[in-house]
Amino acid sequence: MNDTVLTTNAGLQGLDYAAVLFYLVLTFGIAVWFGRRQKNTEDFFVGGRRMPWMAVGLSILATLFSTLSYVGVPGEMIRHGAALFLGYLAVPLSFLVIAFLFIPFYMRLHLTSAYEYLERRFSYPVRLLGAALFVMLRLGWMSMVVFAASMGLEQVIGGDLEWLPGPDIFWWIGVVGVVAAVYTAIGGIQAVIWVDVIQCVLLLAGVLMAIGYVVMVDRTGPADWWRIASSNASTTHTMPPLYSFDLTVRNTVLWTMTNVFFWSICTHGADQVVLQRYFSTSSLRAARRSYLTNVIVELTMISLASLAGLALLAFYVQRVYLLPEGATATGMADKLFPFFLGHQLPAGCAGLIISAFLCDAIQTLESGVNAATAVATKDLIYHRAEKSTVRKELRPVEESSTAQLTVARFLTVGITAFVTGTAYGVAYIQRTYGLSLVDMMPKFFNMFVGPLAAMFFVGMFLPRCTTRSVFPAALCGLAISVVWSWWEYIFRTETRPTIFLSVALPCVSTFMIAALLSLIVDRSGRHSGSNYTWRAVVKGEPSSKLA
For the stretch 189-202, pLDDT in tens is 566 677 777 777 77
Instruction: Give the end-to-end CA distance of the chain in Å, rounded to a whole number.
Output: 65
342/102: higher pLDDT = 102
Flag whether pLDDT at 101 surpasses 50. yes
| % of residues, the chain, pLDDT over 70 | 75
484/38: higher pLDDT = 484
456: left (phi over 0), alpha (psi -120 to 50) or beta: alpha
The Cβ of residue 201 has, within 10 Å, a number of other Cβ atoms equal to: 11
> Residue range 378-403: average pLDDT?
50
Produce one character per residue of 370-406: b if its CB has 16 or more CB atoms within 10 Å, e if not. bbbbbbbbbbbebbeeeeeeeeeeeeeeeeeeeebbe
362/485: higher pLDDT = 485
Of the listed ranges 25-29, 449-453, 528-532, the one predicted with least confidence: 25-29
> Residue range 392-416: average pLDDT?
60
500/5: higher pLDDT = 500
Of the listed ranges 36-45, 82-91, 174-183, 440-449, the one predicted with least confidence: 36-45
406/480: higher pLDDT = 480
By the 10 Å C-beta count (0-12 exposed, 13-18 middle, 19+ buried), 92 is classed as exposed
472/22: higher pLDDT = 472
For domain 14-386+401-441, the CATH architecture is Up-down Bundle (1.20)
d(CA 236, CA 205): 30
Q: What size, in residues, is the chain? A: 547
Of the listed ranges 8-17, 33-42, 294-303, 474-483, the one predicted with least confidence: 33-42
Question: What is the sign, positive or negative, of the torsion defined by CA atoms of 394, 400, 401, 407?
Answer: negative
pLDDT band for position 475 (cuts 50, 70, 90): very high
Flag whether pLDDT at 308 surpasses 90. yes
Give which of 153, 183, 182, 179 is closest to 167, Cα–Cα.
Answer: 153
Give the per-residue pLDDT at 543: 45
Whether pTM exceeds 0.95 = no
321/160: higher pLDDT = 321
CB 344 within 8 A of CB 218: no
Give the per-residue pLDDT at 102: 95
86/416: higher pLDDT = 86
CB 134 within 8 A of CB 382: no
d(CA 148, CA 72): 9
